[in-house]
Amino acid sequence: MKRKGVSTSLIRSNEEHLHLLPMAGLYELTFFRARALEKVLTFLRERNASFGVHLPFVFRYSKVHPLPTSLLESERLDTFEVNLFASLFSRQIGAEYVVVHFPTAHQRENWLEDKTILKGCLEHLVKLNEILPVRIENVYMNDRFHNSQDYNWLCFETNAKLCVDVGHLLIDSQIYGFDPVRFIDNVSTHVAEFHIYYADWETYRRCHHAPWGESRDFLRVLDFLRDFDADFVIEPSNDCVEGLEKLLDYWEGL
């Protein structure tokens, strides 16, 4: 079933701006402060909307970003602990699913050399998936784990689904020289969701999640996605608004 959703990244998780979000049947909650929770849940009830949670939600990692494949055990365990607490809490408040990043972004080291790292990650993802359905989001710039075969294998081993982040995918396709459309086609049987926004390496540094871009690969990806039965969640940030109307037009036309 195709559903259209909105990430609260559009308002940078500012609960005072919830009313500005487009109407949708699905919202994906990002990194709110704990004190905003009641206002967020009231908003969801008023809009009669389903919701998923992007970990860590109202919790926080010690290093800001998740580091599931860090060479330091303490950083991996911190990521796992926060994910676990956030998933249990998400289930308690009625979330439908959780989105979790894997592996660590911006990682050059060969973390796969240490077999205990991958073993621990697999066990962690399986445990999370027993709490709520897990959607693994592809990250960017992990030199040892970024192709479609990697993610197909991971989903098979953990029984999790994929959230294909289009922006991250475009960056990796630029860095590692693969076709983003072919990547999506290869992982299609595991896809539950798409995060839709534009990125290339320069734009990402300037805008984080830009709503739109005119690159050939971005437009090819958007065209290819149209026939998928998945959740289409727009995930622009509010620091760059140019192109937002084009993104909304695409999303509304799905």
Collect contacts of 216-220 with beta carbons under 8 A, ≥24 apart.
217/170, 217/173, 217/179, 217/180, 217/181, 218/166, 218/170, 220/180, 220/181
Class of domain 3-252: alpha beta
As a whole number of angstroms, the distance between CA 99 and CA 228 comes to 19
Confidence class for position 40, pLDDT limits 50, 70, 90? very high
Average pLDDT, the chain: 97
107-163 pLDDT, tens digit per residue, is: 999 999 999 999 999 999 999 999 999 999 999 999 999 999 999 999 999 999 999
Domain ranges of the chain: 3-252
Q: What is the distance between the alpha carbons of residues 110 and 31, in angstroms, rounded to a whole number?
A: 30
State the pLDDT confidence band at 201, using cuts at 50, 70 and 90: confident
Q: Residue 31's closest CA among 12, 52, 6? A: 12
Q: Using pLDDT thresholds of 50, 70 and 90, give the confidence band for residue 206.
A: confident
Tell whether pTM > 0.95. Answer: yes
- Which amino acid would we find at residue 73? E
